[in-house]
A and B are shown apart, each in its own frame.
Chain A
Amino acid sequence: MGIAVQNVNKTFGDFKALDDVTLDVPDGSLTALLGPSGSGKSTLLRLIAGLEEADSGTVLLNGEDVTHVSVQDRGIGFVFQHYAAFKHMTVRDNIAFGLTIRKTPKDQIRARVKELIRLVQLNGMAHRYPSQLSGGQRQRMALARALAAQPNLLLLDEPFGALDAKVRKELREWLRNLHEEVPVTTIFVTHDQEEAMDVAQQIVVMNQGKIEQVGEPKELYENPKTEFVMGFVGEVNRLGDALIRPHDLDLSLTPIEGGEEANVERVSHLGFEVRVELSLANGDHAWAQVTRKEDEELQLTEGVSVYARPSRARKFQGAEAQGDDGASAEELQVA
């Protein structure tokens, strides 16, 4: 179901969590709300769910005004960071909860639970309690529970935040596949840009209660509209008033046109990627990301002099002062 959030404001005491937020989420999409903590992303998700009420503004689900409709009646599935498993119920009863309280016939519940247990790969664990499951299993159970009553909308609040890196990666892939299998409109909150880029079709970047930019992962990376977005979705160097991605900084041992002389301070080998930390003549620090092959050719070591030249850079004007409307981005093609 399509979601429209219009001019929504929300404050907690003195803290402005959402500042005049307007957002459209197309039907059937997989969207990430991405931002640092305190950016308002979780508040926005909870507001769409009906777990928080807006101070002003409107929330539409499928064109219908649900601003004052309770969470119970919005037909959503919600997944929490810390699983929110019903500790006193077995996996089976957890998943069946939404159906049981709707007084669904027993044989239908049994069939649906069986189907979901297979979908979330918890076969043979129906009679376990949440305390007997691993974190990843608990979160998959929570997902099955949220999907059981066939919600129109699946909302996930930092769903992988409490899991270790390996399980997080597995679940990411699994969520993407699930969305293909069960194409329900899905929004998930994350502070991890890699996770957002990896899973989502559309990313909403938030900062200080406002939406900075909405776009596809590639679009955000290639054409960030604000300095904040550029810095949040990837690594950046600042050289003067230009922002440069570390992989857009070319290094050469001989002087090149437009290159600045720099001193290699440190070289870190991180497998495929090699990080070269530089100190420039004017005292600025930057780092370049080069491949192993490039590193072998250049034979970089500490104390060597190199010439650094950005192949691509961006300048933002008034991004901090004016917010997203007033900001203008300019791409500089140096090479």
Chain B
Amino acid sequence: MAGTATAPRLPRQAAFRPRLGSALLSRGIVVTWLSVIVLIPIVALTLKAFSTGPIEFWDAVSSPQAVEAFRTTVLLSLIVTAINCVMGTAIAWVLVRDEFPGKGLLNATIDLPFALPTIVAGLTLIALYGNDSPFGIDIVRTPVAVVMALLFVTLPFVVRSVQPTLIELDKDMEEAAASLGAGNLTIFRRIIVPNLRPAILSGAALAFARAIGEFGSIVLLAGNVKIASVYIFAKIDSGDPEGAAAISVVLLLISVGILLLMGRFAKRGLPI
């Protein structure tokens, strides 16, 4: 039996192609839909940002307040994303691999941050950790409070992204590693994490994108912490919609850049 007896099976072969007419139709629907929902608003936003000219655009986005807002927002969002990667994976792990009473209930609470109006989340955090905190902790108007609010609203992303992958994860792989002498920590580090990495990173990317644009939960508790979305709101409030649009465009660019970077990182070193 030669090693070349069987041709390698290549993944993702297009076995079935829909007829041309239906392909054009479905593509048309998708493009129209995306245009109406996403592309046209973004183009309008960009036009608005440049409506007063490139110099004004540059002034708006390079002012010291703007730069500080960008820096703080990106930094806090990255911190939140990193914490989510660890805690989200841990929560998904417990939900998939452990059996305990109340598991169904815990699983259901994961999505609550999506259901709650974000401003309510902000108010709740102020009530718990503000001036009148029943715990005697006053962290409102500090970056810590912002991070907590962002963690609240981004909780589901990594959990919900990792869960299905973990359920599908081939347990034989772990047993095989154990039979080859690998202890639990080695199995986790060398087998489980690499297989979950794409899922963790895709959840992280969503969490990051959400964190960088988050407004509702932090507007009331940010205080002097300069957050881009709050800064944009202040711009609109003070009658500078062009400046607000300019800041938004840069925020979008930062998001797109980091999402692309994460996408590349997720795929690196993986087959296919």
Contacts and interface: CB of A to CB of B under 8 A. Distances in A.
Interface of A: 49-51, 70-73, 76-78, 80, 82-88, 97-98, 101-102, 121-125, 128-134, 136-137, 142, 145-146, 148-149, 167, 170, 174
Contacts of B271: 87-88, 129-132
Contact of B182 (A72, A82, A84): A72
B3 A123 contact: yes
Contact of B195 (A78, A88, A130): A88
Contacts of A136: 5-6
B175 A78 contact: yes
A82 B173 CA distance: 10
27 contacts: A51-B175, A72-B181, A72-B183, A76-B179, A78-B175, A80-B172, A80-B175, A82-B170, A83-B172, A84-B170, A84-B172, A86-B177, A86-B191, A87-B271, A88-B194, A88-B270, A97-B190, A101-B181, A121-B2, A123-B3, A124-B3, A125-B3, A132-B271, A133-B8, A133-B9, A134-B9, A146-B180
Contacts of B3: 121-125, 137
B173 A84 contact: yes
Given A125-B3, A131-B271, 14 more contacts: A72-B181, A72-B182, A77-B179, A78-B179, A87-B173, A88-B269, A97-B180, A98-B180, A101-B186, A122-B3, A132-B11, A134-B8, A136-B6, A137-B8
By size class, the interface of chain B is: 20 to 34
A88 B194 CA distance: 7
A170 B1 contact: yes
Given A88-B194, A88-B195, A132 B6 contact: no
Interface in B72-90: none
A22 B36 CA distance: 72
B176 interface: yes
Interface of B: 1-3, 5-11, 170, 172-173, 175-183, 186, 190-191, 194-195, 269-272
State the 4 A-B residue pairs at the shortest beta-carbon distance, nearest first. A129-B271, A84-B172, A134-B6, A98-B180
Contacts of A132: 8-11, 271
A72 B270 CA distance: 27
B9 A149 contact: no
A101 B177 CA distance: 10
A142 B191 CA distance: 15
Contacts of B9: 131-134
Contacts of A85: 173
B176 to A, nearest CB: 4
B173 to A, nearest CB: 5
Contacts of B191: 86
A129 B115 CA distance: 42
Contacts of A73: 181
Q: Which of A124, A131, A136 has the most CB of B within 10 A?
A: A131
A87 B195 contact: yes
Contact of A131 (B1, B11, B180): B11
A145 B172 CA distance: 14
A146 B179 contact: yes
A128 B190 CA distance: 18
A121 B4 CA distance: 9
A119 B7 CA distance: 19
A128 B178 contact: no
Contacts of A167: 6
A290 B104 CA distance: 63
Nearest to A171: B1
Contacts of B175: 51, 71, 78, 80, 84
Given A78-B176, A97-B177, A146-B179, A137 B6 contact: yes
Nearest to A142: B176
A170 to B, nearest CB: 5
Nearest to B8: A132
A51 B179 contact: yes
A133 B11 CA distance: 10
A221 to B, nearest CB: 28
Q: Which of A122, A133, A137, A149 has the most CB of B within 10 A?
A: A137
A87 B172 CA distance: 12
Nearest to B269: A88
B207 to A, nearest CB: 23
B6 A101 contact: no
B2 A71 contact: no
Contacts of A98: 180-181
Contacts of B195: 87-88
B169 to A, nearest CB: 10
A90 B187 CA distance: 17
Given A101-B181, A122-B3, A170-B1, A86 B176 contact: yes
B179 A174 contact: no
A167 B9 CA distance: 15
A313 B75 CA distance: 84
Q: Which of A70, A87, A134 has the most CB of B within 10 A?
A: A87
A88 B195 CA distance: 7
Nearest to A77: B179
B1 A174 contact: yes
A88 B180 CA distance: 17
Contacts of A125: 3
Contacts of A131: 9, 11, 271-272
